[in-house]
Amino acid sequence: MRKERLNKKFLDELKKYNFSKINEEQIYLVGSARFKEHFIKIESILQIKYEKIVNICSVDGLFNKEKFSEEEWEKLQTIALKKLHFQDAILILDIEGYIGKHSKEEIEYFERNFKKPIYYLSKLI
């Protein structure tokens, strides 16, 4: 049997979102670590199906947030803000309408410092 990551079942889970609205090449995903499954799936769709370069703050942070001290987490947040300088756009994963404190900080920083597109997952429907 042939393997395929973006099989029908996988794509059907997120079919309500129109990722083709995102025209930029370099996309930074912003959202809560509690929605890591969405990060993984959306990253794969954007990279494989739409050939986008996708970045996030920290893979380890996404999977192991509870293992970081507050000081370590703040350092990761500082790095996240630096990474925003290299992005063409950001996609906010506002699952269930939730946008956390650090995500808000990243969004505000991006809005204030760059005149580039900001997409909200909830608006890609």
User: Which pLDDT tens digit goes with each residue over 37-87?
Assistant: 898 899 999 999 999 999 988 777 777 778 889 899 889 888 888 999 999
- Tokens of residue 103, six digits: 């995500």
The helices-and-strands tally (H runs, E runs) of the chain is: 5, 4
Residue 1, pLDDT score: 64
Query: Across all residues in the chain, what is the average pLDDT?
Result: 90
Confidence of residue 111 (pLDDT cuts 50, 70, 90): very high
**What is the set of domains in the chain, with CATH numbers?**
24-123 (3.40.50.450)
Give dist(CA 125, CA 109) in Å, integer. Answer: 25
Whether 27 contacts 46, CB under 8 Å: yes
Q: What is the mean pLDDT of residues 14-35?
A: 93
Residue 21 has pLDDT above 90, yes or no: yes
Give dist(CA 110, CA 85) in Å, integer. Answer: 8
